Amino acid sequence: MTTPLTIGRVEAYLHDRLERGPVHLTLIDPDKSPGAAAARIARGAVDLGSDVILLGGSTGISRDVMGAAAEAIKAAVDVPVVIFPEGATSLTPKADAVLFMSLLNSRNLDLVIRTHARAAPAVRKMGLEAIPLGYLVIAPGMRVGEVGQVDAVPRDDPEAAAGYALAAELLGMRLVYLEAGSGAPAPVPAPMVQAVRSALSVPLIVGGGIRSGDDARALLEAGAQLLVTGTITEEEGLGSGFRAILEEVRRARDA
Ligand code: 1GP
């Protein structure tokens, strides 16, 4: 039996959105904001223009907690709910898709491919859409850099980042994610985003440390196509910082 190589519904949705301009993803940690709390954040974020809800955190989120959050969010909003996994234990068929991501610059082969080998049969059995993604941690990397045992790409080495990103694309990954680490004091540097963007054909996601409209504008001007924010809503809710980021995404879309 063969499986046809078609892209799934969530990936098609992303491509459709990207035709119109940049995309914003709101990351919610269901351990910090379980069930109804996650749904409240999601509803507010989507009302302000966010396109996708990502569910994840850097510690092991149980399948039940992940499932309850996915269910509550799906009842509240009409955008895809996608798992941003830190391991196999948080996978649930209640989400619409999973970022099936290899941590490209980890020294731990489990995070590059071995966990995937163990989880892949379950993903297929759940019928969960898997979006193949190359995940690259840029300094400082924060907690994911530590837990992920990465050799973080130095902030002043855009060529190294471009090399990893292009290798991911040539390996067949259909998205590349540059991650400065959740709560990073500054996002991935714009020159690095520019270098990676000009090397790549597949869409580029950038996240970590995006706190203001200015941060978002600099990344969008450098070529980021999808922006992920998490900490800002945890710390400030859906206030002026979050609104300014969404405003920049909308402005770039309308330009
Ligand atoms: C983390 O890139 C995401 O994986 C979001 O980062 O929490 O800093 O917004 P922040």
Is residue 98 within 8 Å of 61, Cβ to Cβ? no
Contact 200, 166 (CB under 8 A): yes
Query: Domain boundaries in the chain?
Result: 9-254
pLDDT tens digits, 17-65 = 999 999 999 999 999 999 999 999 999 999 999 999 999 986 789 999 9
Listing DSSP states for 131-156 in one string gives EEEEEEEBTT-HHHHHHTTB-PBPTT
Rounded to the nearest angstrom, the distance between the alpha carbon of 186 and the centre of ligand 1 is 11
pLDDT at site 131: 98
Domain boundaries 9-254, corresponding CATH code = 3.20.20.390
4 band by pLDDT with thresholds 50, 70 and 90 = low
pLDDT digits (tens, 9 = 90+) for 147-197: 999 999 999 999 999 999 999 999 999 999 999 999 999 999 999 999 999
Q: Give per-residue pLDDT as tens, 131-151.
A: 999 999 999 999 999 999 999
Ligand 1 center from residue 201 Cα (angstroms): 24
Q: In the Cβ-directed half-sphere of 208, how many Cα atoms lie within 13 Å?
A: 28
Ligand 1 pocket check for 241: Cβ under 6 Å: no
pLDDT score of 1 more than 70 = no
CA–centroid distance, residue 1 to ligand 1 (Å): 40
Give residue 6's pLDDT: 80
For residue 188, how far is its CA from the centre of ligand 1 (angstroms)? 11
Rounded to the nearest angstrom, the distance between the alpha carbon of 5 and the centre of ligand 1 is 31
* Contact in structure between 68 and 28 (CB atoms under 8 Å): no
Check pLDDT > 80 for residue 200.
Answer: yes
Strands (E), the chain: 23-28, 52-55, 81-83, 97-103, 129-137, 175-179, 204-207, 226-229
Kindly report whether the peptide bond that precedes residue 132 is cis, defined as omega within 30 degrees of 0: no
Q: Is the predicted pLDDT of residue 130 greater than 80, yes or no?
A: yes
Give the residue, out of 28, 210, 227, 234, with the most ligand 1 atoms within 8 A of its beta carbon, to mutate for a pocket test: 210
Substitution candidate for ligand 1 out of 25, 27, 32, 133 with most atoms within 8 A of CB:
27
pTM (predicted TM-score) = 0.97
